[in-house]
Amino acid sequence: MAFDDAPAGERTEQPSVRRREEARRKGHVAKSPDLSGAVHLLAGLAVCSFAGSRLVVDAGEAVRRGLVAAARPELEPGDAVGLFLATTAAIVQLAWPFILLPAAGALAAQVLQTGFLTSWESVRPQWTRVDPRQGLARLLGPIGLGEAAKTLVKLGLLAAVAYAAFRAAWPSLLAPGDGEAALVTVGAAAARVWLAVGVAYLVLAGLDYGLRWWQHERSLRMTREEVREETREQEGNPLLRARIRALHRQRATRRMMSEVERADVVLRNPIHVAVALRYEAGKMRAPTVVAKGARLMARRIVAVAMRHGVPVIENPPLARSLYKLVQVGREIPAGLYRVVAEVLAHVYSLRERR
């Protein structure tokens, strides 16, 4: 929340929904490429741990069969091409889980960060991207140098983690053993180093995402002037809105005053409240309030009524009740039928007498 004494040019206001949507439309969202890379690395390790040995055995068998078939003396050049394609297809069929599953994990990490974001603004050609001077300025600017330093720090930390994991596995690599046992030992050591690097990379990626999210939120913040400008664009100019409301009130007042001219009676209290009633037998179920007002408006209603010969009767309790309970254009409640009927009967008798 911004402080009231904050300078007008400072970005102290939280971003609006419109600003967030506009940034998302342009492809500006908080995301870390390292997070997708870390998930890709760990997913590859998981696939290799579950099916790596099977892949090596099956791929070796496929290659062995291909080499045995290629050693036949009656093999023709066309058969050699077909044999090569068949061996390649067999290896690809064995290797597709090791390619697609890590890629699917990286894609899932990307979707979790950005959602199903499709923005053509970020891929639209921009000459500033191919301008060497602009590219050099970005590379040597504060942001470019900061990213370079951050990359060097991450590489250094990952190298340190890999070295520590390899050093821990080094005694097992020096232990004597036959060919198959040595292969298992090397595989276990490689998996240990891979896992350590993957976990460290995932932690660094999480920190990097948090930093990018914080920077993204700061970049979306708005100044107080931007907030006012956006409010004016969405809701219109306040002066114009006030003018429109004033015109609506004037038109409503004119319509109400024209109804006073055709009212049967105006009840008042004696200067604070005025209520105009009209009743048309056969057309209305009950008397209807056609105008009402307080203070200045009440005096205007009384003046219009007197000018057009509409009877004005002082009845403070009834006038206050009608003003409080009944909206303009609505019929009076049943509880006031008898009192209003007496008033109208008196008005009608005065009219007949005149």
Tokens describing residue 92: 């690809």
In this prediction, residue 140 carries a pLDDT of: 67
Give me the mean pLDDT over the 6-15 stretch. 69
Bridge partners, 81 (sequence order): none
pLDDT band at 266 (very low <50, low <70, confident <90, very high): very high
pLDDT tens for each residue of 177-206: 665 666 677 777 888 888 899 899 999 998
Provide the pLDDT confidence category of residue 239 given band limits of 50, 70 and 90: confident
Domain residue ranges of the chain, discontinuous segments joined by +: 17-116+128-221, 256-353
Q: Check: CATH 3.40.50.11540 for 256-353? A: no
CB neighbours (10 Å) of residue 275? 28
* CA–CA distance, 265 with 310 (Å, rounded to integer): 6
| pTM assigned to the model | 0.52
SS3 175: coil
Q: In what order do the strands lie in the sheet with 288-294?
A: 288-294, 273-278, 265-269, 312-314
Span 61-89, mean pLDDT? 65
Q: Is 344 helix (H, G, I), strand (E, B) or coil?
A: helix
Query: What interhelical angle do 179-220 and 142-174 show, nearest 10?
Result: 160
Find where tokens 């990097």 sit: 208
Q: How far apart are CA 123 and CA 40, in angstroms?
A: 24
| pLDDT band at residue 135 under the 50/70/90 scheme | low
pLDDT confidence bin for 4, thresholds 50/70/90: very low
Q: How far apart are CA 52 and CA 183, in angstroms?
A: 13
Residues 223 and 6: beta-carbon distance below 8 Å: no
